[in-house]
């Protein structure tokens, strides 16, 4: 073999090796747990008043489909699924239009209104986090009969698991209901939530998950609903809530470091949306937004779920001009910005 032929042969081998290693490390499915930030419509199928399967929700989703996502379009997890080359959106586990054929490449067990604390999911009778894990176990059984044991175990081990919760524990529970607030200081309550998050991740790990992302809290004092209730301070962001979020995210960061040390072979990352969302809120013009303190839906102050519905005459025309879609949830455009940031800063190692 001449020099040229040999180097060509060598290149071919390298190419094959690279391709094989790509196939081995590729993420076959994205599996989602959490709250409304990532619920693709599970709440449509349970008895709760916290739903969004009606217009104008979803008005920019595939030509206008109110799937139960709390936005005008797609969620960060949908954009992540697309960026991983899997599929453009992740269906809800309880949606009868989908089955294991679809779920084997991505599924959401999330439920709007839930939290780490069981008492949070009780507030609006939504799916508690422990129950999302029970659904996941059922999914694993279905996956094994669909793919066979070996292939199913491979999918379980190579999939990317995304967990996004916590905001409701503070804004729907701790700061609005007397029980937890009177029982615990906010530091102690954070500790309890972190303990539940740790147990959740450990159980997922025992069930075979290895690539896991846990999401930090957003600057939750800047959600339009919180601003609207902060009238005494001129509708500014509620600084206390933002500080609690930042503090919680730092503690999550330590938890992630500890668990990476403790659980052999785990690859746990923190996906922190705080900084990018804060940046968007502070510099909304440079992202092409005109409105940051009020949401697109209704008056933009209080409306979400049933208060945000199609006969509300105030709803905006162009959601892309708004950071928030309803008083508690970002627009699709903001979700896309968050997803890109999280992929770049936390999930890139799994791509
Ligand atoms: C899943 O649904 C598809 C239709 O979308 C159908 O063709 C397929 O047979 C179903 N698979 C199972 C395992 O039920
Ligand atoms: C939440 O409730 C479930 C079911 O009752 C229970 O198994 C679990 O221990 C509870 N979690 C906490 C942290 O109390």
Ligand 2 site-directed mutation target among 115, 118, 120, 198, most atoms within 8 Å of CB: 118
Q: What is the pLDDT of residues 2-48, one digit of tens each?
A: 555 555 555 555 555 444 444 445 999 999 999 999 999 999 999 99
What spatial distance separates the first Cα and last Cα of the chain, rounded to whole Å? 37
Give me the pLDDT at residue 23, please. Answer: 45
What stretches in the chain show pLDDT beneath 50?
1, 17-24
Ligand 1 site-directed mutation target among 100, 101, 102, 152, most atoms within 8 Å of CB: 101
Given the residues 36, 71, 111, 213, the one annotated as active site: 36
Q: What is the pLDDT of residues 168-193, one digit of tens each?
A: 999 999 999 999 999 999 999 999 99
Per the CB < 8 A criterion, the answer to whether 294 and 233 are in contact is no
Collapsing DSSP to helix, strand or coil, 136 comes out as helix
**Domain coordinates of the chain in residue numbers?**
28-220+239-273+332-350
Q: Whose CA is nearest to atom 9 of ligand 2?
A: 130
Ligand nearest to the CA of 97: 1
Using alpha carbons only, what angle is made at residue 127 by residues 256 and 80, rounded to the nearest 5 degrees?
Answer: 50
**Superfamily designation of domain 28-220+239-273+332-350:** SGNH hydrolase (3.40.50.1110)
In this prediction the pTM is 0.93
């Amino acid at each position: 073999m001449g020099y040229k032929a040999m180097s060509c042969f060598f290149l071919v081998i390298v190419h094959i090796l690279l391709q094989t290693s790509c196939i081995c490390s590729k993420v076959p499915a994205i599996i989602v747990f959490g709250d409304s930030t990532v619920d693709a419509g599970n709440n449509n199928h349970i008895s709760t008043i916290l739903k969004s399967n009606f217009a104008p929700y979803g008005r920019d989703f595939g030509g206008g489909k109110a799937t139960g996502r709390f936005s005008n379009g797609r969620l960060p997890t949908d954009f992540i699924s697309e960026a991983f080359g899997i599929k453009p959106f992740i269906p809800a586990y309880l949606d009868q239009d989908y089955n294991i054929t679809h779920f084997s490449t991505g599924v959401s067990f999330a439920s709007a209104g839930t939290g780490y604390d069981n008492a949070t999911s009780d507030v609006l009778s939504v799916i508690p986090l422990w129950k999302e894990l029970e659904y996941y176990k059922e999914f694993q059984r279905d996956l094994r009969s669909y793919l066979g044991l070996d292939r199913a175990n491979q999918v379980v081990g190579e999939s990317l698991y995304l967990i996004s919760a916590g905001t409701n524990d503070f804004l729907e529970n701790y700061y609005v209901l007397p029980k937890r607030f009177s029982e615990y200081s906010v530091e102690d309550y954070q500790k309890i939530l972190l303990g539940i998050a740790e147990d959740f991740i450990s159980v997922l790990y025992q069930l075979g998950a290895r690539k896991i992302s846990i999401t930090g809290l957003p600057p939750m004092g800047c959600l339009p609903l919180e601003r609207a209730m902060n009238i005494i301070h001129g509708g500014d962001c509620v600084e206390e809530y933002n500080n609690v979020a930042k503090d919680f995210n730092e503690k999550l960061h330590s938890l992630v470091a500890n668990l990476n040390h403790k659980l052999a072979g785990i690859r746990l990352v923190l996906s922190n949306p705080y900084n990018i969302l804060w940046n968007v809120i502070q510099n909304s013009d440079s992202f092409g937004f005109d409105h940051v303190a009020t949401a697109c839906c209704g008056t933009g102050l209080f409306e979400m779920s049933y208060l945000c519905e199609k006969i509300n005459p105030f709803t905006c025309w162009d959601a892309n001009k708004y950071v928030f879609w309803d008083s508690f949830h970002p627009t699709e455009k903001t979700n896309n910005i968050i997803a890109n940031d999280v992929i770049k800063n936390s999930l890139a190692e799994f791509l």
